[in-house]
Amino acid sequence: MDAGLIIHESRFTFAAHGLVQVADLGAWWEAETGLPVPLAGICARHDLDADTTRSAEQAIRASVQYALDHPAASREYVRANAQEMSDAVCDAHIALYVNALSLDVGDEGMRAITRLVRGGD
């Protein structure tokens, strides 16, 4: 049996290619844990000074906030790095990764990360 893992924008377009979904790991995670899917993290080396890490964090937050405030501004960048994308798929893809949790994972996001790293309940 041929099988594969579909990620990024292909999660919105797989059916158009004749592919069949066996499982949606994001939906499984959310149903199993009741928590958001921890998609990525940005970390700073522990030996960097506080001003450098604070400046980096502020720049990243400003970038994400700009993307939230101007969703169309991200579309060309995403499209340039994507395999295939209509405007609707592009917008859904951006919304998946640029959201309130991108600005601040909060308590729920931290619980999701802890659950992923430690496993179990």
- Residue 121: what pLDDT? 60
Helices (H), 6-49: 10-13, 25-33
Q: Are 93 and 85 in contact (CB under 8 A)?
A: yes
Task: Give the catalytic positions in this structure.
Answer: 8
pLDDT value at residue 10: 80
pLDDT attached to residue 91: 82
Q: What confidence score (pLDDT) does residue 34 get?
A: 94
- What is residue 100's predicted lDDT score, i.e. its pLDDT? 85
Could you say which DSSP state residue 19 is in?
A: -
Could you tell me if 67 and 59 are in contact, meaning their C-beta atoms sit under 8 angstroms apart? no
Say which DSSP state 78 is in: H
With a cut of 70, list the residues of the chain below it in pLDDT.
Answer: 1, 83-84, 120-121
pTM score above 0.75: no
The per-residue pLDDT for 50 is 95
